[in-house]
Structure 1
Amino acid sequence: MTDDHEAVRDLLAAWAFGALDPAEEETVAAHLAACERCAAEAARLRETVRLLDGPPPKAPARSADGVLSLALRTRPAVARIAGHAAPYAAAVAGLEALLPELAGRWATPVVHDWDAHATLAHLLAADEHLATRLGIDARVPPSRIEEGMPWEDAWGRRTADVIAHEHGRTPEETVADWAAQAEQLLGTPEARDAELAARAVTLMGMRLPVAEHFLVRAFETWIHTDDIGRALGLAVPPPPPEHLGQLVRLAVRVLGLALGTGAPPVLFSVTGGEEWVLGSEDEPVRAELVLEPVDFCLLVGGRHTPETVPRGATGDAAAVRNVLERAASLAWL
């Protein structure tokens, strides 16, 4: 067959969740029969899903382990999504599975000054940016945003307005609107077609391909699911390795843009994964920095600080600190 190695790799995450159409299933199956490397990766992904699908915990012990695949079994199947949308679908499924744990506990403080109800309202507002850009109607009355207002101020006002609006409704109504909006996003042509999702748009100050904005939505949904889990005393598993790798690569690209080409160069890597030179390409590397992939994402998401994030580092301490501080400064969640 033709050399479709990279194309098939892009489909493996969706394949692991059973989200491919029959023609794509045949393409992937044929490639896996001939490519040992992809077959090994596919087996690892499928095993990850199987492990997440472990037996439900016995009462009264409660855990969020396994919520991802539980939700994927019980939610309606999303019609054929592309690899770039699979992490968002999985993150949505994980949060949907965790939400029943909030029954009677919606006023639990979660993060910032938000309770659990406000945290979900924040996600409703955050997903709205991509949803409206893809032609989906907003579910909350519009905010009064003055022309020329900096995006940070506009976003702060919008999320505050949505939270205030949703606090006037029941948590169940907020859940229904958030879930319906997420389902609509996953039903857009851009969620199914990588070519359509390649066009760049600017949302919340970031000009990225639509495909990467889906990854941003996955990133934020997972972070806030973890926030809610921690508030409830439940362990929320990280994204499957393939999805986590996509989030790491996105965060590295955004971090590289933020650092620019004038920063002291640092060889950055995540444990068991890739490595990148961040900063100047015209100077010798001054330091090396290694983070666990989950810790790196939590740093970029504002849940670790440059001082406390576990790391391995050698070389110029100031260059390392610059990378860590710039990574932490990206947080808007």
Structure 2
Amino acid sequence: MNEPGRFEVYDEHEGQGGHGGEEPYEKGETESGSADASPGADGMSSGNGDDRHPTPEPGPDLPPRIPLPRASVEDTGQPLPDLQVRDLADPAPRRPPLVLEHRVLKALLGAWALAACSTEETAAVEEHLGDCGACADEARRLREAVGLLHPAESLDLDPSLRTRVLAGCLERRPPRIPVPEWATPYDAQTARLDALLQDFGDAEWHAPVRLRWFEKDEPTSRRTTVAGVIAHLLTVDGLVAVALGLQDPMGDVAADHPTPSARTEAYWRASHYPPTRAVRAPWREQSHDLVRTVSFTGGGTGKLSVPYGDFELPLRDAMLDRAFECWVHAEDIAEAVDYPYEPPSGRDLHSMVDLAARMLPTVLSARRRAGLAAPSPGPHRHLVPAGEPGRSLRLEIEGSGGGEWLIPLDSPAAVGSAEHEVAHIALDGGEFCRLAAGHVSPTEAAAGQVGDREAIRDVLFAAASLSRM
């Protein structure tokens, strides 16, 4: 008999137990025939809470509980495997470079310019371009052609996105102090320009910019820098600030320089050095003050008069005029640093076109008195009474911000009338605004024109004369 609690080892090769040929117990059974529990985590038996019967140590006929270390391939005397040498910076195995004929490499130039070659082909082509001047010239021309197929795209968001997001927010929670609708274009355009300026370094702030406008029907320009343009916006926006009772950035010299161009030239002359990036902070603070002030004073201030020296504008139109100039000069800055800049949203662009269309009759009348426009023909030679219809030109603006306006030709007080329409002009919205900014020649602006050629010319040149520095 076995001692109580002892396990008998069954040798399958001998087919019998270790004592007198008796049949062995089944694995895991004791002499009483009950199954013993599996060992616990510490190698001791945990069945029925009895820890008196530990698991026996492995004998010479049993495998070790912990396997011995495996033999190294270096100890076997056999040859080691041939491993590929890899660069730590580039874990991928290196492949031998392609060796291609000249005619094959030349045929790959088009695919290389389009970035359609494989890694090996690209390396082979670029190595060949360093040795072959003819292929290098051809590759440069192809790469330039590809650049024309894929014009540069702005990294900025869609200009209308800001308007849509704000509109959605205001629908959910109306503001306690809303910004007047006629001030939102200025708010949007100054925010867009400020976003363009925020990443500029010193080199961009001193990049040359050429301001363009029309004066006496001749194109005129003035050279400055990006910082000089922001200084120009700062001084002219100061006219609106003064009308609202805010501080004038020109200080005491403002009274002697009432017009926008005179204020700008005086500010530039007063600077001991060319304007630097430091001008951004006062311009930005002033634009915020303008929006905040018109919001707190309510929409009633829209009728407040803002003097421009030679003429005056209601505050609501002056804010729209400043939004228009901010966009135009933002395009000047973007062009100077070779960065794409999108036009305003359709709603803001429509408001800008509407302001220019409303100003055209007054400008046309002033040009006629100065002898720059043809006098009214026949019975329309005398001024049309206020509120009466007269000869009209239909201004059709296409695209974003488009619409139609009937421009009275004989008197600012007259009313445009479709029955008295003598001419029709069609332009793109952005093109018309660039015409009003003096960036497009009046003789090249109209996409389509029908009717009285003299009236069309007068209106186009009147639109260009709206521009100023």
Distance 2:285 2:227 in 1: 16
In structure 2, the CA distance between the partners of 1:144 and 1:228, relative to structure 1 (3 Å rule), is: closer
Residue 220 (1) aligns with residue 325 (2): yes
Distance 1:190 1:79, change over 3 A: closer
Report the CA distance between 1:71 and its aligned residue.
8.5
Question: Secondary structure in 2 aligned to 1:85?
Answer: helix
1:81 to 179, 182, 196: 179
State how 1:1-333 maps to structure 2 within 5 Å: 63=154, 65-66=156-157, 68=159, 80-103=178-201, 104-111=203-210, 112-143=222-253, 145-146=255-256, 151=258, 154-166=259-271, 168=273, 171-189=276-294, 193-260=298-365, 265-271=392-398, 272-280=402-410, 284-333=420-469
Distance 2:342 2:428 in 1: 15
Give the corresponding residue for 1:31.
none
Three-state SS of the structure 2 residue aligned to 1:249 is helix
Distance in structure 2 (CA, Å) of the matches to 1:89 and 1:192: 16
| 323-332 or 308-317, which deviates more | 308-317
Q: Which amino acid aligns with 1:303?
A: H
Give the drift of 1:269: 1.7
1:233 match: secondary structure:
coil
The structure with the larger Rg is: 2
The 1:92/1:79 distance shift into structure 2, 3 A limit, reads: farther
What is the RMSD of the two structures over their aligned residues, measured on CA atoms? 3.0
Q: Residue 94 and residue 123 in structure 1: after superposition, are their counterparts in 2 closer, same or farther (change >3 A)?
A: same
Q: Deviations over 1:1-56 (max 9, x none)?
A: xxxxxxxxxxxxxxxxxxxxxxxxxxxxxxxxxxxxxxxxxxxxxxxxxxxxxxxx
> Does the residue aligned with 2:340 lie in a helix, a strand or coil?
coil
Shift of 1:193: 2.1
Q: Is the 8 A contact 2:185 2:323 kept in 1?
A: yes
Higher deviation after alignment, 155-164 or 239-248 = 155-164
The question of whether the paired residues in 2 share the 8 Å contact of 1:118 and 1:167 is answered with no
Query: Taking structure 2 as the reference length, what is the TM-score of the superposition?
Result: 0.51
Q: Which runs of 5+ in 1 are unaligned?
A: 1-60
1:121 to partner: Cα distance: 0.5
Q: Structure 2: where are the runs of 5+ without partners?
A: 1-151, 166-174, 211-221, 369-374, 377-390, 411-415
What amino acid maps onto 2:154 in structure 1?
Answer: S
The structure whose RCO (Cα within 8 Å, separation 6+) is larger is 1
Distance 2:296 2:232 in 1: 22
Q: CA deviation at 1:200?
A: 3.2
- Structure 1, residues 238-295: CA drift from partner, whole Å, max 9, x if none? 1111111111111111112212396563221211412223313699322111111111
The aligned residue for residue 7 of structure 2 is none
User: Which whole-Å CA distance do the structure 1 matches of 2:420 and 2:159 have between them?
Assistant: 43
Aligned residues: 265
Distance 2:345 2:160 in 1: 11
Q: Does the aligned pair in 2 maintain the 1:78–1:186 contact within 8 Å?
A: no
Note the alpha carbon deviations across 1:161-180, whole angstroms, 9 max, x for none: 22244563763320000000
* Shift in Å, 1:324: 0.5
Q: Distance in 1 between matches of 2:439 and 2:425?
A: 19
The 1:98–1:71 alpha-carbon spacing in structure 2 relative to 1, beyond 3 Å, is farther
TM-score normalised over the length of structure 1: 0.71
Change (3 A) 1:144 1:296: closer
Paired-residue identity, %: 29
Q: Structure 2: how far apart are the matches of 1:88 and 1:233?
A: 24
Q: Distance in 2 between matches of 1:245 and 1:69?
A: 13
* Cα contact 2:205–2:227 (8 A) shared by 1: yes
Higher helix residue share: 1
CA deviation vs aligned residue, 1:145-197 (integer Å, no higher than 9, x gap):
55xx8x5xx44332112224456376332000000011110111367622221
